[in-house]
Amino acid sequence: MAGDMGYALSKWVAEVMAKAGGGIIIRVGQVCGDRQHGVWNEHEAVPSVIKSAQIMGIIPDSLMGGDNWIPVDEAGSAIATISTRDGIEFTPTSNSVISTI
């Protein structure tokens, strides 16, 4: 089970209910700003690291999930496509930013 944390438990309950009702669960990796404006919640972990790097004048060797970011407009489009097609077969890869379970 998801553990004792309320947030994790609520996600698990929602997944069980969705599956029981014939729904699908779509998990999205790190969502970043859209392709046109790039606006991103600066209080999330990655933008905070980037801001800290600017202040400190040093860049980390890697950023958390840096190769698995997806712009919000692409995520929305992919979710709309996946969730509205009958009989869609979606096979996530190890590098997938969006996956279904």
Reported as a single tens digit per residue, the pLDDT across 24-44 is 777 777 788 888 998 888 888
Q: Where are the domains of the chain?
A: 24-100
Reported as a single tens digit per residue, the pLDDT across 46-76 is 788 888 888 999 887 776 656 677 888 888 8
The verdict on pTM exceeding 0.75 is no
Q: What's the rounded Cα separation, in Å, for the pair 10 and 15?
A: 9
Q: What's the rounded Cα separation, in Å, for the pair 29 and 65?
A: 8
Residue with token string 């729904």: 23
pLDDT at 88: 55
